[in-house]
Amino acid sequence: MSTLAFGAFGDVRPPNPNDTANFPDGILSKIFSGMQAKGMTLAVDAGDHCFQSSISSGSYCHTQFGHFMNDMTTNYFGKLLPTMGNHEGCGTNAATTGNCTTWTSGLVHDYLVDIVQPATGQSSSPYYSIAVYGAWGTAKFVHVAANAWTSAQNTWLTNTLNVPTDYTFVMRHEPSNDTRAQGVTPSEALYSSHYSAGTLTLSITGHTHLVQLPGGTLPYGDQFGATQAYEVILGNAGAPLDAGPYYGYATLTRRASDGAIVAQEYEAVSSDGVTPLNNVADTSFRFAINPNGSPNSNTTLP
């Protein structure tokens, strides 16, 4: 990549299970076209791509995954790195406590085949990582599957995070303080350790249908979850909003002058779910971080 820049969003599903007719195609299309217009050639998502009541394969989520991919390929021509959410997992009615220990069948397998395979070229595992590089340095994107937590994933994550790169972005569906998913607590322990060592840049999460800045309770307050200093919540991409006036996405771009990553949230569709907002920047949701995860007070966009 000539420049380290990527889009990020999370949580795309209808309100009710099995309701493919109300999959948020309009919102998702605007998000993908917005990222395209912003020149993002790489994007990550924070999980939840569908809603079905069972964990069967070939069911409603299979169809909704088709909607997701069609919305993407119609409006966005970069690459997507998806993250497994509880709605792709092994809990009835998408229970956050659900945990898959195998993924060769059922809903989680559909997710791997329908979304992960065409997006990344592999369908062997719901957790994976990639590395990107350019004249600016190296970065790794580490996609944790907290709803498919196994000792093997723990070992993989430990080893992967130990690989030195200039930037490390970790993606996981559930935020740090929703510990119902089995992988949250153990992966968070690793994140925290690496953040303390200066080897973690940012944790990108979703699950709650809003955005929340790193290091506190802004902009929507403590009742919506306090974030770690190195954690952002980006969960407003089409699932019914819990807070905030719009559905949208963020861009995260490296600033050449000092290597900081500047994140900016954009408004794609109004909270009514239909009125376009033409990618207006949310001036209350911008932050900058250094490669080691520490805050950077200069939030000037590159």
Partner 1 sequence: MSWAGCVRAANGVAIVLCLAACKANSSAQRAAPPSQPIVSSVAPTVLAIVAKPAETVSVAGREPSVRPLLVPQAARALTPSSHFDINFWGNAVNTHTLLDAAGKGAVPVSEARFLWGQGQLYVAFYAGDLDLEVREKSHDGPVWKDDSVTLSFFTEAGKKRLISVSPTGVLADGTCPGDAKNLGDTRCDLHWESHARVGVDYDGTLNKLGDFDEEWNIQFAIPLRALDAAPEPGTRLRFALDRCDMAFDGQRACGAWGTSLTPAELVLQ
- Among positions 57-86, residues that touch partner 1 (CB under 8 A) are 60, 74-79
Whichever of 242 and 286 has its CB closer to partner 1, that residue is 242
- Compare residues 57 and 270 and give the one whose CB is closer to partner 1: 270
- Choosing from 149, 224, 230, 285, the residue that interacts with partner 1 (CB under 8 A) is 224
The 180-219 contact track toward partner 1, x by CB under 8 A, reads: x--------------------------xxx----------
- By CB under 8 A, name the one of 64, 96, 205, 227 that touches partner 1: 96
Q: Rounded CA gap, 203 and 214, in Å?
A: 9
What is the C-alpha separation between 40 and 8, in angstroms, rounded?
A: 10
Options 135, 257, 283, 297; binder of partner 1; rule CB under 8 A: 135
Of 278 and 297, CB closest to partner 1: 278
**From 16-24, 102-110, 183-191, 250-258, span contacting partner 1 (CB under 8 A):** 16-24
Residue 155 has a CB neighbour count (10 Å cut-off) of: 10
Nearer Cβ to partner 1 (120/299) = 120
In terms of CB distance, is 297 or 302 closer to partner 1?
302
The DSSP letter of residue 285 is E
Instruction: Determine, following the binding rule CB under 8 A, whether residue 54 of this chain makes contact with partner 1.
Output: no
Binder of partner 1 out of 101, 102, 162, 193 (CB under 8 A):
162
For the bound state, the minimum distance from the C-beta of residue 186 to partner 1, rounded and expressed in Å, comes to 17
Structure tokens at 287: 């932050």
CA distances to 96, 97, 193, 252 from 150, rounded to whole Å, are 16, 14, 20, 30
Nearer to partner 1 (CB atom), residue 118 or residue 295? 118
Nearer to partner 1, 92 or 300 (CB): 92
* Closest among 220, 183, 224, 219 to 203, alpha carbons compared: 183
| Candidate residues 7, 23, 30, 200; the one interacting with partner 1 per rule CB under 8 A | 30
Residue 137: name the closest of 258, 270, 281, 289 by CA.
258
User: Between the CA of residue 198 and those of 6, 13, 130, 166, 290, what are the distances in Å?
Assistant: 21, 35, 20, 10, 10
Residue in 56, 63, 150, 271 binding partner 1, rule: CB under 8 A: 271
- Sequence-ordered list of residues with C-beta below 8 angstroms from that of 285, at least 6 positions apart, any chain: 211, 213, 219, 250, 264, 265
The DSSP code sequence of 152-200 is HHHHHHHHHHTS--SEEEEE-SS-TT-TTSTTHHHHHHHHHHHHHTT--
End-to-end CA gap in the chain: 16
Task: Out of 104, 159, 283, 297, point to the residue binding partner 1 (CB under 8 A).
Answer: 159
